[in-house]
Structure 1
Amino acid sequence: MVEQAAKPLPRPVRAWVLDATPGKVRAGGDGEDHPRELISFLRTLPKVVSSKREILNALIKEGFSNDVSQWVVTNLRPTGPLCSSFSWTFDLDGISQLYQSYEETNLWNFVENLPRGVHVNFLKAERSLHRWALEDLQRIHAAEELASEEGGGVEMHVLEDAGHWVHTDNPDGLFRILSSSFQVLRA
């Protein structure tokens, strides 16, 4: 999105950033599931497994939350006759590369200098406090003020009753917040 926003695109451009800051990625803590740890663990599992329950139990035994473990097994599809085996629906190497890129990318300069017509919404999970340093919050609020003066937009939203895995912790609340940006297209 960042690379595309400077090109002539129809305006307005709206992006949502879900429980992530534009700068340094802070590791999980306080018993929270961390994506890098989850990706690393998934790499140790076989590509084909005999049951979803087997993977669910392995994830929980490894210390991942029940909610995240249940979400992970939704990414297994039947591959054998009569659902006798399952394989992953996602490209774990691709996910690993995307996550590494995310950890290495610093987008503060973009957020603090948004092009006209670009609006970035940050959604902070209420229980994900360790990922959001006070400096991050202050910079986003300063960017909110600056962007509104420059014809862009930065906005901070807080998703109550959710940790980092916003889509599993509070999907209804996530939908309510995101739906504020949905538009009805009329012919």
Structure 2
Amino acid sequence: MTALLHHDVLSAPGSSPTRSLFFLHGILGQGTNWRGFARQLVKQRPDWSAVLVDLRAHGDSRAVAGRDDLRGAAEDVTRLRDSLRLPVHGVLGHSFGGKVALRWMQDDPGALCRAFIVDSLPGARPDQTGSEGTMRVVEMLDALPPRFDSRDAFVAHVVEQGHSKALAAWLGQSLDRLEDGVRFGLDVGRIRALLDDYFATDLWAAVSPPPEKMEAHLVIGGRSSVYRAADRQKASELAEAHARLHVHVLEKADHWVHVDDPEGLMAIVEGAL
């Protein structure tokens, strides 16, 4: 039997939600990255629960086997949905997770009522434009020593490689304890395979138009370089042509939209549920 994705379900204290929203994180992340935002959302919308998902090869879903591409990741999400008590009516996907959501929408078009694709370009990006920093991090991770004496030693090493202390601490969420220290726990080869498909796959068709009975929202970080000018123009033209597709630009946000402008993102999500 195929293992299910690890997940945490959040709901407001004393609430009785009738539907749930999946949160799909970006590459190298995990579901808990969205805990603060999700907790506030269910507080404001107690009729919804939030399901914080660890995607394949990430977090506590590292044992989930199979094809390391968008379709494999989307199939994992489908299996998780089918195992849950509450119906899953929506998905919020950030970056890599956004493209998993788009693949899920395309492969299972009747699955959802709402989709929020957060700073994740539906189109292919073979030149990896806008993700150069991510690829530098992956290169660094590929060359890590097999172990470190402590978490602090890992953080210091990442900083020595030219990355910020905040990023180093964030990557530290994926450390595994050893008898004599710690090691970085993610399989970087699997991460590369997922990224290869992420950059190569064009999923504009998933939102032009969105599946029947679905409202899809493309949320763009105004300071992010993931969407080029031509991509923003295409998204706007598609939204004009298809009433169930909406485009939002949060001008003060960079790629980490929920960190840079949580209030703006909350207004979009809460207003559309």
TM range (shorter): 0.7 to 0.9
Question: Is 1:59 aligned with 2:158?
Answer: yes
Alignment check: 8 A CA contact 1:5 1:118 kept: no
Alignment check: 8 A CA contact 2:130 2:227 kept: no
2:228 is aligned to 133
2:144 is aligned to 45
Alignment check: 8 A CA contact 2:105 2:206 kept: no
Identity of matched residues, % = 22
Tell me the amino acid that sits aligned with residue 168 of structure 2: S
Q: What secondary structure sits across from 1:121 in the alignment?
A: strand
After superposition, residues 61-100 of structure 1 pair within 5 angstroms as 61-80=160-179, 84-100=180-196
After superposition, residues 102-117 of structure 1 pair within 5 angstroms as 102-117=198-213
Question: Is 1:142 aligned with 2:233?
Answer: no
2:266 is aligned to 176
Question: Is 1:36 aligned with 2:132?
Answer: no
2:110 is aligned to 9
Inter-CA distance 123–54: structure 2 relative to 1 (3 Å threshold): farther
Inter-CA distance 107–63: structure 2 relative to 1 (3 Å threshold): same
User: Could you tell me the TM-score, scaled by structure 1's length?
Assistant: 0.72
Could you tell me how far 1:72 is from its partner in structure 2? 1.0
* Counterparts of 1:170 and 1:78, CA distance in 2: 32
* Counterparts of 2:144 and 2:246, CA distance in 1: 40
**Structure 2 spans left out of the alignment, 5+ residues:** 1-100
* Counterparts of 2:223 and 2:108, CA distance in 1: 36
* Counterparts of 1:72 and 1:174, CA distance in 2: 26
* Counterparts of 2:267 and 2:151, CA distance in 1: 32
Could you tell me how far 1:177 is from its partner in structure 2? 4.9
Inter-CA distance 66–176: structure 2 relative to 1 (3 Å threshold): farther
Could you tell me how far 1:181 is from its partner in structure 2? 6.8
1:53-110 CA-partner distances (Å, limit 9, x unpaired): 2222222232223332221112213232xxx511334332222211111110111233
Inter-CA distance 90–139: structure 2 relative to 1 (3 Å threshold): same
User: Could you tell me the TM-score, scaled by structure 2's length?
Assistant: 0.52
1:2-44 CA-partner distances (Å, limit 9, x unpaired): 35545463452x3332222112434348xxx621221111010
**Structure 1 spans left out of the alignment, 5+ residues:** none
Alignment check: 8 A CA contact 1:36 1:99 kept: no
Q: What secondary structure sits across from 2:123 in the alignment?
A: coil
Inter-CA distance 163–123: structure 2 relative to 1 (3 Å threshold): same
1:164 is aligned to 255
Inter-CA distance 175–101: structure 2 relative to 1 (3 Å threshold): same
Q: Which one has a bigger Cα radius of gyration? A: 1
Inter-CA distance 175–114: structure 2 relative to 1 (3 Å threshold): closer
* Counterparts of 1:174 and 1:70, CA distance in 2: 26
* Counterparts of 1:85 and 1:171, CA distance in 2: 37
Alignment check: 8 A CA contact 1:68 1:165 kept: no
Alignment check: 8 A CA contact 1:6 1:115 kept: no
Inter-CA distance 75–143: structure 2 relative to 1 (3 Å threshold): same
